[in-house]
Structure 1
Amino acid sequence: MRLPRDLSGEELVRALARLGYEVTRQSGSHVRLTTNQKGEHHITIPLHNSLKPGTFNVILLEIADHFGITKKELVRFLFE
């Protein structure tokens, strides 16, 4: 499965809410999300209109690692 293109930071924040991530703070155009599922985990998301593919990929890899799943499984869960 290909990664969604032209995904905004706000759309990603809404998708990550399905995994229990909540906004804990915002500084300028970046927001920090935290989840307590499977241990505490923090991730920073840029609230840009369109996330760069490399940035988006790194965010997904870090979240997948935290939950102990593959990136492919994570993308399928979030966007299908």
Structure 2
Amino acid sequence: MSKLPHVSGATVVRVLERLGFEKLRQSGSHVIMRRGLKGCVVPMHSEVKVGTLAGVLRQAGVSPDEFSAAM
């Protein structure tokens, strides 16, 4: 497993869009995204903490290596 990078919420959304996710809506400072039946909630913070990013990727069914490769 690769080490997760420090990224912003906007970067997480952009990378997930490259991986085929679509932005459904934004509720406050959180973006709701979906690819097929898998969905995830991305906090739009200036820096998403590593543990939070790991949780988002787990929700989305995306491996850290796959995420890093799509950056």
* TM-score in terms of structure 1 length: 0.74
- Residue aligning to 2:35: 35
Name the SS of the counterpart of 1:45 in structure 2: strand
| More RCO (CA 8 Å, sep 6+) | 2
Contact 1:30 1:44 in 2 (8 A): yes
1:6-28 per-residue CA deviation (whole Å, 9 max, x = no partner) reads x0001000000112111101111
Which structure's residues are more often helix, by fraction? Answer: 1
* TM-score in terms of structure 2 length: 0.82
Equivalent residues, number: 70
The answer for unaligned runs of 5 or more in structure 2 is none
- Residue aligning to 1:15: 15
Contact 1:13 1:45 in 2 (8 A): yes
Q: Rg: which structure is higher? A: 1
Identity %: 34
Q: What RMSD, in angstroms, separates the aligned Cα atoms of the two structures?
A: 1.7
The answer for unaligned runs of 5 or more in structure 1 is none
| Deviation for aligned residue 1:57 | 1.0
